């Protein structure tokens, strides 16, 4: 209650800080925007952690596995050792692991998936017990059958030669990393600008800002700049992650990658601004943002190549900003393409961003 | 004294239907604290937002410090400190950061530390806005206006929803600003706030000014000084005429068995009132006298209470 009785100390009313320069407002807006994002754990998670988790999960799921060894049970009997001998002399011996066990153990192990195949040899010949509904069981039967026949002296009438190939640059993870990067730039552009703006409008903060001498262009510029700063971190994180964890080879120059990243970030910033130009409630803008992004998640080749869609759709798909961004990022990162070779894709991004900005500024509501 | 705020024939029609403001004239002097008083929906916020240059009027003229919004908007923004109704400032910025941000928009702002001190927010300077109490948030809202180093302070419902102590703190802040020759325009639906804080008030109802002047002058002119309220036991009612004939009574108002007499001198009226009660063989269940307030002015003018809740 003490404050009730004591009037606040009067400070010198004429005491003003040094006169603010032209860019003081912009600098503070940018600083505060970055601080706010940094203090929002959800933003950190969705922008930085989530893409890495996605890359890690998908990278592990689709990783190149070491050559599989087929586990085979050989039922103990007089001829069991003959089978083992044959397998050991076959060219495929490295990929087959055979154990001699009694019939019950073989039966149980087969049922539980411990063995893919049960082999019994008697006077009549070799008996395979396999499960046609289990692909690895089918494979094991063929593999062991070939191994035994070859070891027993089968001659193949047609010579064939195979080369194993899993080069960096052509793996799924190599395809995935630039796609995730593009998707991330879209997500954070749309949410980071679109959602943030409507939230500020709903809180009447935009209206409060325009009641000050703040330049409206400074405000929008600061929002876009904050996106560019985040873009740098997003690109660096995903690329470094890809290189360190999955040995992705970055062929293109860092400058080209960053330039295309910046273009993508600004372009989606424009689309986000347009999406948010009139919405009053965060619920309605959330729906709009998802509506805008949904087609691109599906069609723009984030997780799989859009070439799988029917040919008639391809021109429309290539006109989507995320498609252009993903294609340009893949070309530069994976093939070391030059910027000039990506002009058409850059043009798509510039047009989407430019048109969105112009329309957004025309329709934008501050209150 | 030069005129700080002036408007003539102000009108605002929303979507061609709702007439929020219908022809409003105001003239507010430099150094004055002026209150726009009225019930919710009377057009107070619309009026103040037009004066703040945030809403476009449908008709009429506005002049602030000799400038108009059409020709000198940028210059005017530098001179005004504005606190809107229900702005939710960013919760994850600290009090100091919020003030630094607002200060950065002005060419010659107040020092952030000085404003923190004046509004007793130093202790909360490094707390997140989201952690402040309602009263502290409201003080911060006023601080964002004061950090502008303004000549005019616009406050829209600055104390709505605050506890009495926080309200008094805000009144002190407004008085301090006024002492430095600052002009204040505020809206409120609290009568006591207008009476204590404002040099002059305009009572607004349905988009029009129905009374204007110093609070004490309005009370005297429109209600007499005192109100005598009484009720008869068993809720008995009686013909109002017998009360209006009592000495010194200016008018009688009956509401749910409660009679309110506007009187000049209670000591003349009350003995006569007691005699009249006796004459009617009735008994008093309740009798009070009080100073008339702006609330009574509003009731007198409109027949309604300011706050119907």
Q: Chain B, 237-296: which have a CB under 8 Å from a chain A CB?
A: none
Strands annotated E in A94-196: 96-101, 117-122, 125-129
Q: Does residue B167 or residue B306 have the better pLDDT?
A: B167
In the sheet with B258-263, reading across from the earlier edge strand, the strands are B249-255, B258-263, B226-232, B284-291
Q: Does residue A74 or residue A5 have the better pLDDT?
A: A74
d(CA B157, CA B160): 6
Looking up residue B265, the CATH number of its domain turns out to be 3.30.70.100
Q: How confident is the model at residue A7 (pLDDT cuts 50, 70, 90)?
A: very low
**Same domain? B284 vs B184:** no
CA-nearest of A321, A322, A331 to A352 is A321
Q: What residues of chain A lie within 8 A of the CB of B99, using their CB?
A: none
Q: Is the ipTM of this complex over 0.85?
A: yes
Looking up residue B184, the CATH number of its domain turns out to be 3.40.50.300
Q: How far is CA B251 from CA A303, A336, B147, B243, B261, in A?
A: 82, 92, 48, 9, 6
Q: What residues of chain A lie within 8 A of the CB of B80, using their CB?
A: 211
Q: How far is CA B48 from CA A345, B11, B43, B188, B307, in A?
A: 50, 12, 9, 11, 20
**Same domain? B254 vs B139:** no
Contact B92 A203 (CB under 8 A): no
How high is the pLDDT of residue B81? 96
How high is the pLDDT of residue A353? 94
User: Domain limits of chain A?
Assistant: 34-61+171-363, 70-151
What integer is the mean pLDDT of A243-254?
90
Q: Does residue A221 or residue B161 have the better pLDDT?
A: A221
Asked if residue B308 belongs to a domain, the reply is no
Q: How confident is the model at residue A9 (pLDDT cuts 50, 70, 90)?
A: very low
pLDDT at A46 > cutoff 90: no
CA-nearest of B282, B292, B158, B280 to B225 is B292
**Same domain? B154 vs B175:** yes
How high is the pLDDT of residue B221? 81
How far does A201 lie from chain B, in Å, by closest CA? 10
pLDDT at A172 > cutoff 50: yes
Alpha carbon dihedral A214, A220, A223, A225, in 10-degree steps, equals -100
**Same domain? B239 vs B146:** no
Rounded to whole angstroms, the maximal C-alpha distance in chain A is: 111
Asked if residue B297 belongs to a domain, the reply is no
pTM summary value: 0.79
Q: Percent of chain A beyond pLDDT 90?
A: 51
Domain count within chain B: 2
Q: Does residue A121 or residue B224 have the better pLDDT?
A: A121
Q: Which of A11, A200, A207 to mutate to test the interface with B (most CBs of B within 10 A)?
A: A11
pLDDT at A17 > cutoff 80: no
How high is the pLDDT of residue B281? 84
Q: Is B208 in contact with B42 (CB distance < 8 Å)?
A: no
Looking at chain B, which residue has its C-alpha nearest residue A207? B54
Q: What residues of chain B lie within 8 A of the CB of A29, using their CB?
A: 101, 104
Mean pLDDT of chain A: 87
Q: What are B162-201's pLDDT values in tens digits?
A: 888 889 999 999 999 999 999 999 999 888 899 999 999 9
Q: Which of A83-92, B81-90, B219-228 has the highest mean pLDDT?
A: B81-90
Which stretch of A9-23, A47-61, A230-244 has the lowest confidence by average pLDDT? A9-23
Mean pLDDT of chain B: 90
Residue B135 burial (10 A CB sphere; 0-12, 13-18, 19+): middle
How high is the pLDDT of residue B284? 87
How high is the pLDDT of residue A6? 37
d(CA B224, CA B247): 13
CB of B87 within 8 Å of a chain A CB? The answer is yes
CATH H-level superfamily of A70-151: abc type-2 transporter like domain (3.40.1710.10)
Quote the tokens at residue A366.
Answer: 């501050």
DSSP assignment of A94-122: GGEEEEEE-HHHHHHHHHTTS-SEEEEEE
**Same domain? B235 vs B208:** no
Write out the residue range of the structural domain in which residue B242 sits.
Answer: 225-291
Quote the tokens at residue A2.
Answer: 């003490």
Q: How confident is the model at residue B236 (pLDDT cuts 50, 70, 90)?
A: low
Asked if residue B302 belongs to a domain, the reply is no
How high is the pLDDT of residue B227? 87
Q: Is B186 in contact with B172 (CB distance < 8 Å)?
A: no
Q: What are B53-62's pLDDT values in tens digits?
A: 999 999 999 9
Q: What are B145-163's pLDDT values in tens digits?
A: 999 999 999 999 999 888 8
How high is the pLDDT of residue B308? 54
**Same domain? B210 vs B232:** no
What integer is the mean pLDDT of A340-353?
96
**Same domain? B170 vs B279:** no
**Same domain? B61 vs B27:** yes
**Same domain? B196 vs B229:** no
Contact A212 B102 (CB under 8 A): yes
Q: What residues of chain A lie within 8 A of the CB of B101, using their CB?
A: 28-29, 32
Q: How confident is the model at residue B240 (pLDDT cuts 50, 70, 90)?
A: low
**Same domain? B248 vs B112:** no
Contact A212 B52 (CB under 8 A): no
Q: Is A329 in contact with A260 (CB distance < 8 Å)?
A: yes
Asked if residue B300 belongs to a domain, the reply is no
Q: What residues of chain B lie within 8 A of the CB of A36, using their CB?
A: 90, 92-93
Asked if residue B170 belongs to a domain, the reply is yes
pLDDT at A101 > cutoff 70: yes
Domain C-terminal end among B214, B246, B262: B214
**Same domain? B43 vs B87:** yes
pLDDT at B116 > cutoff 90: yes
pLDDT at A10 > cutoff 70: no
How high is the pLDDT of residue B248? 84
How high is the pLDDT of residue A91? 75
Q: Is B135 in contact with A2 (CB distance < 8 Å)?
A: no
How high is the pLDDT of residue A66? 64
pLDDT at A11 > cutoff 80: no
CA-nearest of A294, A276, A271, A279 to A352 is A271
pLDDT at A4 > cutoff 60: no
Q: Is B143 in contact with B99 (CB distance < 8 Å)?
A: yes
**Same domain? B60 vs B175:** yes
CB of B143 within 8 Å of a chain A CB? The answer is no
């Amino acid at each position: 209650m003490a404050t009730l009785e004591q009037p606040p100390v009067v400070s010198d009313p004429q005491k003003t800080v040094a006169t603010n320069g032209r860019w003081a407002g912009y600098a503070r807006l940018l600083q505060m925007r970055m601080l706010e994002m940094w203090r929002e754990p959800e933003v950190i998670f969705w922008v930085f952690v989530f893409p890495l988790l996605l890359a890690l999960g998908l990278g592990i799921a689709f990783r190149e596995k070491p050559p599989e060894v087929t586990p085979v049970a050989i039922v103990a009997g007089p001829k069991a050792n003959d089978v083992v001998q044959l397998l050991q002399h076959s060219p495929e011996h490295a990929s087959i692991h055979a154990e001699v066990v009694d019939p019950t153990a073989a039966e149980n192990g087969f049922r539980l998936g411990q063995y893919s195949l049960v082999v019994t040899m008697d006077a009549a010949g070799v008996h395979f017990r396999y499960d046609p509904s289990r692909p690895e069981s089918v494979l094991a039967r063929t593999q062991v059958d070939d191994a035994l026949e070859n070891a027993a002296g089968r001659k193949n009438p047609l010579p064939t030669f195979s080369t194993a190939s899993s080069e960096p640059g052509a793996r799924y993870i190599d395809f995935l990393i630039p796609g995730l990067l593009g998707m991330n730039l879209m997500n954070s552009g749309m949410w980071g600008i679109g959602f943030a703006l409507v939230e500020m409008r709903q809180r009447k903060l935009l209206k409060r800002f325009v009641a000050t001498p703040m330049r409206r262009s400074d405000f929008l510029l600061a929002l876009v700049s904050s996106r560019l700063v985040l873009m740098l971190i997003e690109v660096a994180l995903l690329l470094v992650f890809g290189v360190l964890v999955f040995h992705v080879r970055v062929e293109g120059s860092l400058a080209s990658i960053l330039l295309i990243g910046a273009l993508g970030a600004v372009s989606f910033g424009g689309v986000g601004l347009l999406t948010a130009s009139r919405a009053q409630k965060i619920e309605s803008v959330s729906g709009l943002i998802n509506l805008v992004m949904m087609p691109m998640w599906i069609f723009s080749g984030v997780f799989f190549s859009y070439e799988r869609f029917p040919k008639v759709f391809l021109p429309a798909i290539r006109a989507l900003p995320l498609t252009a961004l993903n294609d340009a990022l893949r070309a530069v990162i994976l093939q070391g393409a030059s910027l000039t070779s990506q002009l058409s894709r850059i043009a798509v991004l510039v047009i989407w961003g430019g048109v969105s900005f112009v329309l957004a500024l025309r329709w934008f509501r501050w209150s | 004294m030069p005129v700080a705020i002036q408007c003539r024939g102000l009108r605002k029609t929303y979507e061609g239907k709702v007439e929020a403001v219908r022809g409003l004239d105001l003239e507010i002097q430099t150094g004055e604290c002026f209150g726009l008083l009225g019930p919710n929906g009377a057009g107070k916020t619309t009026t103040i937002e037009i004066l703040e240059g945030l809403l476009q009027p449908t008709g009429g003229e506005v002049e602030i410090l000799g400038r108009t919004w059409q020709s000198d908007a940028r210059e005017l923004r530098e001179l005004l400190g504005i606190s809107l109704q229900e702005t939710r400032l960013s919760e994850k910025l600290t009090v100091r950061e919020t003030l630094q941000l607002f200060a950065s928009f002005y060419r010659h702002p107040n020092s952030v530390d000085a404003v923190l001190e004046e509004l007793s927010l130093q202790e909360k300077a490094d707390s997140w806005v989201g952690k402040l109490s309602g009263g502290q948030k409201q003080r911060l809202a006023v601080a964002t206006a004061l950090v502008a180093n303004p000549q005019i302070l616009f406050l829209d419902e600055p104390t709505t929803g605050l506890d009495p102590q926080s309200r008094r703190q805000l009144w002190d802040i407004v008085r301090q600003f006024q002492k430095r020759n600052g002009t204040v325009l505020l809206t409120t639906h609290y009568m006591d706030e207008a009476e204590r804080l404002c040099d002059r008030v305009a009572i607004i109802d349905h988009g029009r000014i129905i009374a204007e002047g110093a609070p004490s002058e309005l009370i005297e002119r429109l209600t007499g000084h005192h109100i005598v309220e009484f009720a008869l036991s068993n809720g008995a009612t009686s013909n109002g005429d017998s009360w209006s004939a009592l000495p010194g009574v200016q008018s009688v108002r009956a509401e749910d068995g409660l009679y309110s007499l506007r009187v000049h001198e209670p000591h003349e009226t009350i003995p006569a009132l007691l005699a009249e009660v006796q004459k009617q063989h009735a008994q008093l269940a309740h009798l009070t006298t009080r100073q008339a307030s702006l609330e009574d002015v509003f009731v007198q003018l409109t027949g309604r209470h300011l706050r119907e809740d």
